[in-house]
Amino acid sequence: MAKNKSEKRIKMAKVQNEDENDVKRLIIIIIGLIIAIILVYFLTRIFVTKDLLNKEEEKTFQAGSVNYNTTLIGSMFNKPEEEYYVMIIDTSKSDYVYYTGTVSNYKKNEDALKVYLADLDNALNKNYQSTNSNLKTEDLTKFQVSKPSLIKIKNKKVVETYDTESEISKVLKYVEPEEEDTAE
């Protein structure tokens, strides 16, 4: 019997040693995984996002805004005013500055109508660009523009169109206000 008890103790010690070894291996594997995850995290921040070592860059956010002076050609008939102009220009062309300057001067007039700018460089307006113009239509599927153009819209209909620089300049001219005589 004594032999039997010592065999049981030896078997129990072996089982406990094997269990302890399994637990130790499991802990080593978990620690290895944690170290690997931390290493991947820091390597990603250093080499991919490059934000770990570059503390001087501060991220700034700009609030969104709506420009009520621009429009898309597809929605140019949906404006709240009864009568207004739509200036269609390509902002990637050099004459863009001339036309926006002309519009800015025109807006200084006391009786100036609202002028919306439609940019042909905008991807949503590309479908309306063509080699031949068809400006006098309320059907936007047939509307085509080939160069800078000014369209006068009244009651959701095209009433006048201008597509030369001289015509646009005449319509959108700045008129100096007349000075009133205060001496009587």
Tell which phi-psi region holds residue 155, choosing left (phi > 0), alpha (psi between -120 and 50) or beta: left
Confidence at 16, pLDDT banded by 50, 70, 90:
low
Give the model's pLDDT for residue 45: 86
- Rama region for 95: left / alpha / beta (φ>0; ψ in -120 to 50; rest): alpha
Least confident of 27-31, 69-73, 176-180: 176-180
Question: What Rg value do the Cα atoms of the chain yield, rounded?
Answer: 38
Instruction: Give the global pTM.
Output: 0.61
Instruction: Please give the share of the chain, as a percent, with pLDDT higher than 90.
Output: 33
Query: Two tokens at 145?
Result: 């523009």
Percent of the chain exceeding pLDDT 70 equals 84
Please calculate the CA angle 75-73-91 and round it to the nearest 5 degrees: 135
DSSP H helix total and E strand total for the chain: 3, 5
Let me know: does 83 contact 154? Beta carbons within 8 Å: yes
The one-character DSSP state at 74 is: G
Q: How much is the average pLDDT of 33-54?
A: 86
Q: Which long-range contacts (CB under 8 A, 24 or more apart) does 103-107 make?
A: 103/172, 105/172, 105/173, 105/174, 106/172, 106/173, 106/174
Q: What is the largest CA-CA distance in the chain?
A: 139
